[in-house]
Every structure is written in C-alpha cells, then in structure tokens.
Amino acid sequence: MTGTPMLEVRDLVIRYRSGLFAPRAKPAVNGASFQLMPGETLGIVGESGSGKTSLLRAILRLLPVESGSIEMSGQDWLAIKGRSLRQARQAIGVVSQNPFLSLSPRLSVREILAEPLQAAGQSAGAALNARIETLLGDCGLPANFRDRRARELSGGQAQRVAIARALALEPQLLVLDEPTSALDVSVQAQILNLLADLKQQRGLSMLFVTHNLKVVAHIADRLMVMRRGDVVELGATERIVAAPAQDYTRQLLSFGLNAKTHWAKGQGVQAR
C-alpha cells in the first residue's frame, strides 16, 4: 500500500499521573510508532496491562499524550480542538467490547441508528428510514429489526447493530476494541466475516484491538504486539504468525489467551 497514511503515530508516550510525592510511573505506552494505510487493518495485540487500550484511548482523544505525535490523513490530530475536533471525529467509527453496554436498552434499533445521523443534521423522514434500512442490510440484519429494542437482541445481533451505528456517518477509520470477546465462538466467526466484507466493500481502514492473536490474525494485514507499554513486534501478519521474533508473541500464538476461533467464511451461517 502506498500514499499518505490514514493514521500515523510517532514515538507516542502515555503516562498516567500518580500522587504528588509518588515516584514517576512507568509509561502505559512507551514510544509507540506505527502507520495505518488506507484500506488496511492493523491488529494491536497484548494481554491486560500491555498498553493497547491506553493507545486506543489516546488516538480517540480520550487520554492526554505526554509526548509524540498523531497524524490523521496528514493532519496533526492532537492540535484539533473544540468544534473542529467534534467534526473530525466523524471520520472515526468505534465498536466496543460489549454492545449491551453501548446500546441503550430503552431505545429501538431505529432510534439508536438515527441518533448519529440526526446529530449530523439529517432530518427525520423517508431518507432517514431508508438510510437505517441500508445500514441494517449492510450488517446482515433485516429491515424489521429497526423496531426491536436493544434488550431483545442476541449478542451477535447487538454487535451488528453497534457496527451499523459506527458506520452511520461513513467513517474512514473503524476502531474495534475487543469486538468479539463477549461473543460465543461461532458468533465471533460471523462478526469477523462481516468486518472482512465491510472492509472490502467500503475500503475501510481498521484498528482491531484484542488480547487474542488467533482471532485478529484472520482479519489483520499487519500485527503490532504490545507488552508492558512497549511495542515488541510489528510486521505483516503472515510473517509474524509463521515466524514470530519474540518469545512473548510465540506464547500468544500457542495459548491464544482465549478459546480457539473457527473461521467460518462462506459457510452461510445465520446471524445470531
């Protein structure tokens, strides 16, 4: 892949503040650097405490950065403020680990998907309804799901709605924070298949954050392995899976830190 990176992180340091007289804490992220090209998926892998979530939160501008830089499509991402930041954030769609915590149980699916569209200025009416039905269809759900409440959905269905909401404003970048870890193994495969299809259809760039290297290896073009705040390995997925350079990466591959995921591409499994 050539051209301007969708996202470029250079020498990023994130350190949580401690008490006034406490010794200076080790960085949660210690000098991370990587590029994400248009249409590319980067898997960020590591166990709890590796720094991957802190890195993600800094990219989303939810954590302050001690030093380093973040550029989004060549623009200084850390310099954007106020209303300009709110508008710029529309280029990023976010999917979290547990859809039931991110979807209001009181709202219908239609209301959930209408929220970001109306916040961006789209008026209620036939065009909004058509857009909602298109989003549902793109995520493998029938149009009549728009009338269901989030509490009536299965885990896989709820995550599909969460993905549809993340896509509502046509983002260029999709950020996925452990998007399959709360799902059954068979449903994990369906969601991974859906993400792979969406990436191809929409030309999306993706950051896929997980503790399970075996899961993300199926969808990522490149992998970045983190441990205790450090990037210990970064490269093409095929190379890292076939010949990991670090013992830690080999351990992640051997044990997976999770149940084995069965890749079900093309099997026509029903959404659950």
pTM > 0.95: yes or no? no
Task: Label the pairing between strands 230-236 and 222-227.
Answer: antiparallel
Which residue range(s) make up the domain with 61?
A: 7-104+155-255
Residue 140 lies in a domain: no
Q: 266 pLDDT exceeds 50?
A: no
Residue 141 lies in a domain: no
Question: Which has the closest alpha carbon to 171: 118, 116, 107, 100?
Answer: 116
23-43: average pLDDT:
93
| Domain count of the fold of the chain | 1
Residue whose entry in the numeric block shows the structure tokens 């989030």: 150
Q: Are 224 and 43 in contact (CB under 8 A)?
A: yes
Residue 133 lies in a domain: no
CA–CA separation, 196 and 178 (whole Å)? 15
Q: Give the pLDDT band of residue 270 (cuts 50, 70, 90).
A: very low
257: DSSP letter:
T
Q: Give the pLDDT band of residue 129 (cuts 50, 70, 90).
A: very high
Residue 193 lies in a domain: yes
Q: 105 pLDDT exceeds 80?
A: yes
pLDDT value of residue 262: 35
Residue 224 lies in a domain: yes
Residue 268 lies in a domain: no
Q: 265 pLDDT exceeds 60?
A: no
CATH code of the domain in which 218 resides = 3.40.50.300
Residue whose entry in the numeric block shows the structure tokens 């916040």: 119
Residue 46 lies in a domain: yes
Residue 267 lies in a domain: no
